[in-house]
Structure 1
Amino acid sequence: MYKSKDNTVYYPPPPAPGITTGIPAGISSFQVQSQAEGPWSTGLCNCFDDVSNCCVTCFCPCITFGQVAEIIDRGSTSCGTSGALYTLIMCLIGCHCIYSCFYRKKMRLQYSLASSPCNDCLVHCFCEQCALCQEYRELKRRGFNMEIGWQANLENQGHGQAVLPPNVQAGMTR
């Protein structure tokens, strides 16, 4: 349903015969858009499920943040760039949690995760290292190898294989 400036209501036309909308029969488009939020695979304070990441995040959270941000951004920003920006914000204004909470929200929306135990910004403001560890573990449990980055994960899954052009001989031949 659409409304024009003069409050006239318009309904979209039905799809042409033979064209599917991609929505299963009996489910409205509203139900598809509002997917149920699922739980995180680990709790916020389960940092000792991955002790090595817990130590890295405790002493240098920019590394964990960079790894998480690269996967969430699907390779559009590198681990180094995200980690450096995180460190710069931490050094200049000391409120790096504002930057990292946006990535938590983006991750929750990508994977339909619940906003728990509370709002994303509150989690990052009061439990920054625990939140970063939880995001890291979540991505790891979803099959990502966090140490190798986005592109290498794609190649390992077979989605990023390079397609080489066919060999063509130089010059004119018959």
Structure 2
Amino acid sequence: MANPEESTPLIAYQGEGDGKDSGAEKESKSLPAESGEIGVGVAWTADGLPLGHGSVVGEPVARASWDSSLFACLGRNDEFCSSDLEVCLLGGVAPCMLYASNVERLGSGPGAFGNHCLSYTALYFLGNSLFGWNCLAPWFSYPSRTAIRRKFNLEGSCEALSRSCGCCGSCIEDDDQREQFETACDFATHYFCHTCSICQEGRELRRRLPHPGFNGRPVLVMLPPMEQTMGR
């Protein structure tokens, strides 16, 4: 009579005789712990970003790249194409509204759109009247780029430049200094390429976050009346 254990595929094969492990089990035991497949937990940051994709628990994941480049004014030909065109139009005609919409999507609380839109508009007209160009509003708007980069773990301009040509890697010693460089690059991007930067941020946010106006909106469900019959 056949052994029922031999005909069951869910039971692992066990060698007979000396009780030694099979070759497959030996390979699994001989795998180094650095493979990262067994026994490595997953940690999370305050923003919900996963940690622990490396060999050590808590090792940060690699920074992601932006969904579109800085000078991709018309965006990409995908399901967000109409939204990209709207972002491009707002950035060129009414940058105050686009910047305020970006801040509102980041979840800065009630009244964020009006407060940031009015402040941006005042600095916009003040800079154009005194200096002839929009040079004051970027000082006010560049923290939004830093907030987006930190929230979604996106690479900054210095990191992208260091990855492409390696010119900034020797100047950065630790994470704190790297963050200072990235914040300075965020300001420089807003100051010299202001319209392109807020358009890039608008495209990124619209692909990642829904508008807060669509969250928590009550839905009224209308039920048809029940069938009625006349009684005697």
Give TM class, smaller chain.
Answer: 0.5 to 0.7
Letter in 1 for 2:95: P
> Does the 8 Å contact 1:69/1:79 carry over to 2?
yes
More RCO (CA 8 Å, sep 6+) = 1
Aligned match of 1:141: 207
> Does the 8 Å contact 1:42/1:137 carry over to 2?
yes
> Does the 8 Å contact 2:42/2:57 carry over to 1?
no
TM-score, normalization by structure 2 = 0.49
Distance 1:144 1:46 in 2: 22
Distance 2:64 2:138 in 1: 24
Distance 2:63 2:114 in 1: 31
Q: For 1:109-128, list aligned pairs within 5 A.
A: 109-116=150-157, 119-128=185-194
RMSD: 2.9
Aligned match of 2:31: none
Give 1:37 deviation, angstroms: 1.4
Distance 1:47 1:155 in 2: 32
1:54 aligns with 2:88: yes
Residue segments in structure 1 that go unaligned for 5+ positions in a row? 1-19, 162-174
Runs of 4+ in 1 over 4 A off after TM superposition: 20-26
**45, 57, 68: which one aligns with 2:71:** 45
What SS does the corresponding residue of 2:191 show, helix, strand or coil?
A: helix
Distance 1:56 1:69 in 2: 14
TM-score, normalization by structure 1 = 0.64
> Does the 8 Å contact 1:70/1:82 carry over to 2?
no
What SS does the corresponding residue of 1:48 show, helix, strand or coil?
A: coil
Aligned length: 131
